[in-house]
Amino acid sequence: MEKNTIQMVRQDLKSKRDALLLAHEQLKKDNDDWNKCVIILSLFTGLFESCKIKMGWDNDVVALVPVLLSSVIASVSALIKFKKFPEQMEVILQSQSLLTHTLCNARNTEDLTPMLLKEYNDSLEKLETSIYPDIRKKFLKQSHTNLISIMKQESKFYEMINMVNRGEVVDTDDSLSSKSIEIESPVVEV
Average pLDDT value over all residues in the chain: 89
Range of the domain at 32: 6-131
Total number of domains constituting the chain: 1
Does 31 reside within a domain? yes
pLDDT of residue 176: 57
Is 147 within a domain?
no
Under-70 pLDDT residues of the chain: 173-190
> pTM here?
0.79
Q: What integer pLDDT is reported at residue 186 of this predicted model?
A: 47
- Let me know if residue 74 belongs to a domain: yes
Q: Give the per-residue pLDDT at 173.
A: 65
User: What pLDDT sits at residue 123?
Assistant: 95
Distance CA(42)–CA(74), nearest Å, equals 10
How far is 49 from 31, CA to CA, in rounded Å? 27
Given a contact cutoff of 8 angstroms between Cβ atoms, the answer to whether 9 and 3 are in contact is: yes
Distances (CA, A) of 47 to 69, 76, 103: 12, 19, 52
Q: Is residue 164 part of a domain?
A: no
Per the CB < 8 A criterion, the answer to whether 116 and 106 are in contact is yes
**Residue 156 included in any domain:** no
Whether 188 maps to a domain, the answer reads no
* Alpha-carbon gap, residue 15 to 21, rounded angstroms: 10
